[in-house]
């Protein structure tokens, strides 16, 4: 372990150097009912992550609008089933990922409103769940 020795009042003092911490992903999980009023909460959380990651105000606004549009599209598929949607917002060192998962169903068609604020959109089905993943890459 590295350290620094400094003379203080003619007496050597040793300070240990701080330990390096790896960049860990930070995640937020929301489980919400298919209600348009709750979609705004997911959009607000995405905007917060965008602002915290250093995105411009315009890019954060577009990310928020994209997440809101994606939530509303998923809610339309779930209108009769009364299922909830799991929204996982994750900040990595190089990107933001927003995953929307719900039971059953196929992928939602990508609309211009969803794709405007993100770089990639992926759809997959896993363990009986339909997952839509929105990715916004951060400039380094």
pLDDT digits (tens, 9 = 90+) for 88-110: 999 998 999 999 998 876 666 56
pTM, whole model, 2 decimals? 0.77
Domain boundaries, the chain: 25-137
pLDDT band with cut points at 50, 70 and 90 for residue 140: low
pLDDT, one tens digit per residue, over 28-76 is 999 998 888 888 999 999 999 999 999 999 999 999 999 999 988 888 8
pLDDT at 56: 93
pLDDT band with cut points at 50, 70 and 90 for residue 114: confident
Task: Count CB-CB contacts under 10 A for residue 130.
Answer: 21
Q: What is the CATH number of domain 25-137?
A: 3.30.565.10
């Amino acid at each position: 372990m590295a350290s620094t020795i400094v003379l203080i009042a003619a007496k050597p003092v040793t300070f240990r150097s701080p330990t390096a911490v790896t960049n860990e992903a930070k995640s937020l999980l929301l489980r919400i009912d298919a209600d348009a009023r709750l979609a705004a909460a997911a959009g607000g959380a995405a905007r917060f992550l965008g602002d915290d990651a250093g995105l411009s105000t315009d890019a954060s606004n577009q990310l928020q609008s994209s997440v809101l549009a994606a939530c509303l599209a998923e809610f339309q598929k779930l209108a009769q089933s009364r299922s909830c949607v799991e929204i996982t917002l994750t900040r990595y060192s190089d990107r933001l990922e927003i995953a929307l998962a719900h039971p059953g169903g196929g992928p939602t068609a990508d609309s211009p409103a969803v794709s405007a604020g993100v770089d990639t959109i992926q759809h997959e089905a896993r363990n009986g769940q339909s997952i839509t993943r929105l990715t916004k890459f951060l400039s380094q």
